[in-house]
Amino acid sequence: LKIHVPEGVPPIIANTFSALIPGILVGFIFIFVSFGFSFTSWGSFSQMVYSVIVTPLNALGGSVWSLVVLLLVQMFLWFFGIHGSNV
């Protein structure tokens, strides 16, 4: 899908119009996904991410042993140079 413009229109303006339809299509996709989430028990995508990912990780990080495991993994990655801006 492409919007055809007259020959006298500069290429920069024509390229802007050619990107208009895919942008509108992506916008409609996000609107439909958001509308679909309104019918779930979560209500929104961010609430689904919080329920599925964040809540179990908060429960996992509540003990001293999970902190020890996390620090051991951090030290292991640090040993192999995976730290700071490399991540």
What token pair was written down for 61?
């990080």
pLDDT 10s digits, 47-81: 999 999 888 888 877 788 888 988 999 999 999 98
- Token reading at 8: 């006298």
Contact 60, 66 (CB under 8 A): yes
Q: How confident is the model at residue 1 (pLDDT cuts 50, 70, 90)?
A: low
- How far is Cα 22 from Cα 61, in angstroms, rounded to an integer? 42
DSSP 9: S
- Specify the pLDDT at position 70: 86
- What's the whole-model pTM score? 0.55
Residue type, 1: L
Sequence spans of domains, the chain: 1-39, 44-87
pLDDT for the residue 32: 96
In angstroms, the CA 39 to CA 33 distance is 10
Please report, for residues 36, 52, 56, the alpha-carbon distance to residue 43 in angstroms, rounded to integers and kept in the order given: 9, 13, 19
CA 18 vs CA 7, 26, 39, 50: distances in Å: 14, 14, 34, 37
